[in-house]
C-alpha cells in the first residue's frame, strides 16, 4: 500500500469555501455543511478547533471540535469538546485521513487542556481512536435522547492522563449543535 503525503493544519477564514465543499462532497448533501457553517459562527461553540487535511495542496478532509458544557453553560467549567462533523471527500475515504484528523485534533485539544471529548458516531470506527462507547453508562447523558439501540454510538474519551476526573451529568453543546434535529438519524 502506498502511503499518501497528507498535511494537516488549522483552518482560517479563507478556508471556508474548501470546508463547505468537503462537507457537501463527503456527505452528499448540504445538511452537514450548513451545520458546520453555523457552528463556525456560534460564539457558544468556542474555543473551536477546525482542521483541514490537504494532499498536494488540495483540501480533502475536515474535522470540527466545539466546546461543550456539563448541565449548564458556565465558562468556569473544565474545558470539554465534541467532535462533529468529520468529513473526507469520497475519493480519499478509507485511506486513514479521518484517523489522521482525529489524532491531530485530540493532540491539540490535549495541549489546550481539554479534559474530555465526546462524539456521536459509528461504533466500528471511533473506538479505534480511544473513544469509549455508551458514555451514558459512565454518567454522561447526551444533549438529546439517544435510542437504546444506538446507545453505544454516544462515546467519550478522556484527554487527561489520570482518566475522567470531571463531574458527571448532561452534556450541553453549543446553541447550534444542541438542537434536537442534529441528534436524530
Task: Report the candidate in 146, 178, 164 with the shortest Cα–Cα distance to residue 82.
Answer: 178
Domain boundaries, the chain: 7-183
- pLDDT band at residue 166, thresholds of 50, 70 and 90? confident
pTM across the whole model: 0.95
Between the alpha carbon of residue 26 and those of residues 29, 59, 100, 128, 136, the distances in Å are 8, 12, 16, 21, 29
- Report the chain's terminal Cα–Cα distance, integer Å: 35
Model pLDDT for residues 64-95, shown as the tens digit of each residue: 999 999 998 888 899 999 999 999 999 999 99
CATH class of 7-183: alpha beta
CA dist 44 and 27 (Å) reads 25
More confident residue, 2 or 73: 73
Q: Kind and range of the H or E element at 129?
A: none
Grid coordinates given for 137 = 453508562
Count other C-beta atoms under 10 Å from residue 63's C-beta. Answer: 26
**Helix (H/G/I), strand (E/B), else coil: 134:** coil
Are 145 and 171 a contacting pair, CB within 8 Å? Answer: no
Please state the rounded mean pLDDT for residues 9-29.
96
Instruction: Out of 54-63, 72-81, 104-113, pick the least confident.
Output: 72-81
With the C-alpha atoms ordered 13, 14, 19, 20, is the resulting torsion angle positive or negative? positive
Q: What is the pLDDT of residue 88?
A: 98
Amino acid at each position: 500500500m502506498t502511503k499518501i503525503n497528507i498535511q494537516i493544519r488549522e483552518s482560517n477564514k479563507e478556508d471556508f469555501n474548501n470546508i463547505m465543499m468537503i462537507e457537501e462532497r463527503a456527505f452528499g448533501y448540504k445538511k452537514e455543511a450548513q451545520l458546520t457553517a453555523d457552528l463556525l459562527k456560534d460564539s457558544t461553540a468556542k474555543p473551536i478547533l477546525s482542521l483541514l487535511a490537504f494532499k498536494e495542496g488540495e483540501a480533502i478532509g475536515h474535522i470540527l471540535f466545539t466546546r461543550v458544557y456539563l448541565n449548564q453553560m458556565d465558562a468556569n467549567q473544565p474545558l470539554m469538546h465534541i467532535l462533529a462533523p468529520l468529513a473526507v471527500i469520497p475519493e480519499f475515504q478509507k485511506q486513514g485521513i479521518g484517523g489522521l484528523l482525529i489524532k491531530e485534533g485530540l493532540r491539540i485539544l490535549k495541549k489546550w487542556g481539554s479534559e474530555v471529548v465526546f462524539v456521536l458516531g459509528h461504533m466500528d470506527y471511533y473506538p479505534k481512536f480511544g473513544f469509549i462507547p455508551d458514555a451514558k453508562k459512565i454518567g454522561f447523558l447526551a444533549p438529546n435522547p439517544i435510542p437504546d439501540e444506538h446507545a453505544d454510538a454516544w462515546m467519550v474519551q478522556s484527554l487527561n492522563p489520570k482518566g475522567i476526573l470531571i463531574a458527571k451529568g448532561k452534556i450541553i453543546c453549543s446553541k447550534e449543535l444542541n438542537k434536537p434535529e442534529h441528534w436524530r438519524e
